[in-house]
Structure 1
Amino acid sequence: MKKTLLSVAAVLAVGAGSAQAADLPAKVYTKAPPVVVFNPWDVAFGTSVSSDYVFRGITQSNHQPSVSGYIEPRYNINPDLQLYAGVSASSISFANRAAAEIDGYVGIRPTFGPAAFDFGFWYYGYPGGQCIDTVQGGGNLCPLGSSAIANGNVMKKDVSFYEVYGKVSYTFNDVFTAGASVNYSPDFLRFGTSGTYAAVNAKITMPGTFFGTSGIGSYISGEYGHQWLGTTDAFYAFTALPDYNTWNVGVGFTYKVFTLDLRYTDSDLSKAGCQAITSDFTSNGVTSGWCGARFIAKLSADVTLGALK
């Protein structure tokens, strides 16, 4: 009897060992999940129209509506590291009658968990301008073909410049994100002096159920920044340009690819300081209203090729 039990036990033990060994090769014959092809390339593009184009507290469109558009190819090295380059265009209204603002930029966006960084180079181009000087037809500072404006302000033919920048944002949760940024130019707006802009920002995103099942999202955001400038070159009479603070706060509403942003912006620039920085062709030559408080409405549409597939 004992021999029979031992034999049965041995058979079961061998059978169990065989079953465990059989589990490994058996998995080879199960149906594999579909292979997802990873395409690292994507392209973002969009357009917008705003009631005013304000850049760091100063209007770039003479407080008139402005339209803009951009295209941005992207290459994702991995889910946490993206390379990008882009071109954008915006309508403006400058004293030198530049045709538009045409920008080019390139950068890298590394992400470490909730912390997202952005480092890059941005070129602000203002083609089609002409030299504006107090001596019409050319002087010591302008070539022949320059012109003058009634209030006596002056502006170089080409005020194109570039900046290098670094940004960081930290997503605390699905609702709150905060960040900071620094931009530096060795020759801001071709004034002959460097310019540095540093800012902090925050954004509160409302829960997806805030508007029920309508598909409308919303947020509250704001920024506070400081612009450092220096003393200009001879063209602008070695003028000491004022440093200043600027801020904005607003609410936004999103629906699919569309965003409606309603924003209040202001700065602590005096009207005389604003005049020195802007060369405002609508001013009295002493003070300018291009840097004051303003409410801005902006409607934009943004999408990526990947999202359209």
Structure 2
Amino acid sequence: MKKTLLVAAVAFSALFAGSAAMAQDDAGSLSFNIAATSNYVWRGVTQTNNGAALQGGADYSKGIFYAGTWLSNVDWGTSTSTEADFYMGVTPKVGDYGFDFGVIYYTYPGHDKADAGSIGELKAAVNHPMGKGTIGAAMYLPTESLENPYYEINASYPLTDKLSLSGAIGNYESGAYSYTDGAGATISAMGYTTENIGVTYSLTDALGLDLRWTSASRLPSTFAATLKATF
């Protein structure tokens, strides 16, 4: 299982936001994003040894169909240094319920065979309005074994027009995980629960700042500041 450059993100978004507008017509819509984070945390576990990451991706959508790709640097103390994800799915609605059924493929270009290899997951998620906010649930199932799912419940609520609060609680029922912390100590877990809570502030229509605390049982808690631009 795998899974502050803030100035760089601002410079990049300022360079391209003016010229790379979202393309939208009968063929669908295409959008791009770039982010800088002080710590890339995935399901409660740092993927960059508590270091910074520069990330970006592209998304295509038409009707209920979507597809996209996303990249980030990683640091596991091994030869793996890059993560490239690919995903696709559909987002049907039934009444007030929104669904998301898809597949995600995590790859690590140039990884050593001793490192974690590429993995796939099936995704099933649902969300529903709750007052001004939203509540949802999701499950991710490995495509190779169809065992040891990760599932979570999540919620978000707007505090003001620009500030929103969100969080999630997730759980791996089983499956081993080993993590080497910054001091070189190895921490192992067999199944764990993770939770996160944070606020997101919209600096502009295209630029947002997220401040988030994350914890996972038997693993160190983390804090990350992420600046993300979408265009």
Shift of 1:301: 0.8
Partner of 2:3: none
Cα distance in 2 for partners of 1:295, 1:129 equals 27
**Residue type at the aligned position of 2:165:** I
**Residue type at the aligned position of 1:49:** A
Partner of 1:283: none
Cα distance in 2 for partners of 1:85, 1:180 equals 21
Secondary structure in 2 matching 1:242: strand
RMSD: 2.2
Which runs of structure 1 show a deviation greater than 4 angstroms over 4 or more consecutive aligned residues? none
Task: Establish whether residue 262 from structure 1 lines up as the match of residue 211 from structure 2.
Answer: yes
Mark the runs of 5 or more structure 2 residues left unpaired by the alignment. 1-24, 178-187
Task: Establish whether residue 224 from structure 1 lines up as the match of residue 206 from structure 2.
Answer: no
Mark the runs of 5 or more structure 1 residues left unpaired by the alignment. 1-37, 77-81, 132-155, 209-216, 233-239, 270-290, 304-309
Equivalent of residue 161 in structure 1, options 100, 119, 139: 119
Q: Report how many aligned residue pairs link the two structures.
A: 197
Secondary structure in 2 matching 1:292: strand
Q: Which has the higher strand share?
A: 2
Cα distance in 1 for partners of 2:176, 2:222 equals 28
Equivalent of residue 197 in structure 1, options 140, 150, 164: 150
Deviations 1:206-232 (Å, cap 9, x if unpaired)? 243xxxxxxxx1100010000123479
Task: Establish whether residue 72 from structure 1 lines up as the match of residue 25 from structure 2.
Answer: no
Deviations 1:104-151 (Å, cap 9, x if unpaired)? 1110011234211101000000121224xxxxxxxxxxxxxxxxxxxx
Partner of 2:49: 62
Q: Which has the higher helix share?
A: 1
Shift of 1:83: 0.3
* TM-score, scaled relative to structure 2: 0.79
* TM-score, scaled relative to structure 1: 0.60
Shift of 1:44: 2.1
Partner of 2:139: 182
**Residue type at the aligned position of 1:165:** K
**Residue type at the aligned position of 1:219:** S
Correspondences of 1:105-116 after superposition (within 5 Å):
105-116=87-98
Cα distance in 1 for partners of 2:74, 2:224 equals 15
Task: Establish whether residue 170 from structure 1 lines up as the match of residue 107 from structure 2.
Answer: no
Query: 1 or 2 for the larger relative contact order (CA 8 Å, sep ≥6)?
Result: 2
Secondary structure in 1 matching 2:92: strand
